[in-house]
Amino acid sequence: MFPKKLSPGDEIRVIAPSTSFHRIATIREIALHNLSTLSLQVTYGKNCEEIDEFNSSSVASRIADIHDAFADPQVKGILSAIGGYNSNQLLSYLDYDLIRANPKVLCGYSDITALGTAIYSKTGMVTYSGPHFSTFGMEKGLEYTLEYFKKCLMDTGPFVVEPSSDWSDDSWFRDQLNRSFIPNDGFRVVNEGQAEGKFLGGNLCTLNLLQGTEYMPSLADSILMIEDDDESKPLTFDRDLQSLIHQPGFEGVIGIVIGRFQRESEMEPEKLVKIIKSKQELTNIPVIVNADFGHTTPQFTFPIGGKGKLVALDGEVGLTIVEH
């Protein structure tokens, strides 16, 4: 089940299922301006600025904002304020019947992987891994992110994901004017092959929180899109990937796309290749790395539960979002 595409003039609701909106309030006006270039109107969950000692808010407050956003017929899309650590606290309290009856765009990444994946698993509604509201608070380097947000959430028809021309891993929210951008080397093939299937994934360590629960979707015929943040060092990523490989049904995975690592993760290309090559279960699965999604800038948006095609051959590398 695909939610209706966003259209110019639509209202989108900002909610804070994880870290409080209070943490990003200083970039509100910049984010509003950037979203206005897509002619989207922004409203806010009534509890999104509530904040507690965990930089979040109560489960009841966060659930109320999610349910209000899905129940309000004026709201056509929902954006997470920012990521964090605790959106999985919400999963057993969600009214999945309400969500299923009112399908609409839900977009976010990082910790929001748990929320979006659980909703897809329980309702069949496609959700989206893409920018938070906070992401739109950038003054520079947002063009690629805006382009692919629009392609995935506002436009129709298949589209090819092209690598960005450059990327950044700087603390842009601390100094908007002095940004550091690095030329992008593009996709890198680790294992060759081709695959057509459904997209699943997002933040790897967050996705792994769903293992063994009713919120973990079937991995049959899936292209896994996985990334992690600067807390994921090579040893951490290795064991988190191995944990996912041990998930029942992993044999249904037909392709893997790995998002670019943050520099602080200390993941060198050679180490990443060695980790992947060490997994016998991945031998016959096409794998590409250095894709533009996750915790570096910029990022493309992809559908959790949507369909696509991966080509990872000598001299030909491509990623196409077919149904979104």
Please tell me the distance from the alpha carbon of residue 312 to that of residue 314, in angstroms, as a whole number: 7
Write out the DSSP string of 119-175.
HHHHH---EEE---TGGGG-SSS-HHHHHHHHHHHT--S-EE-PPPSEEB-S-TTT-
Q: Which tokens is 76 given?
A: 């056509």
What is the pairing mode between strands 182-183 and 75-80? Answer: unpaired
Q: Is the dihedral of CA 31, 33, 36, 42 positive or negative?
A: positive
Evaluate whether 97 touches 278 at the Cβ level (below 8 Å).
no
Evaluate whether 43 touches 32 at the Cβ level (below 8 Å).
no
Evaluate whether 229 touches 110 at the Cβ level (below 8 Å).
yes
Please tell me the distance from the alpha carbon of residue 312 to that of residue 322, in angstroms, as a whole number: 17
Please tell me the distance from the alpha carbon of residue 225 to that of residue 201, in angstroms, as a whole number: 5
User: Between the CA atoms of 81, 86, 87 and 90, what dihedral angle is there, to the nearest 10 degrees?
Assistant: -130
Task: Put the strands of the sheet holding 105-108 in their side by side order.
Answer: 41-44, 11-15, 75-80, 105-108, 127-129, 302-304
Let me know how many helices (H) and strands (E) the chain has, helices first: 8, 16
Q: Which tokens is 67 given?
A: 């349910």
Please tell me the distance from the alpha carbon of residue 279 to that of residue 268, in angstroms, as a whole number: 18
Q: Which tokens is 183 given?
A: 């030329």
The residues annotated as belonging to the active site are 110, 227, 295
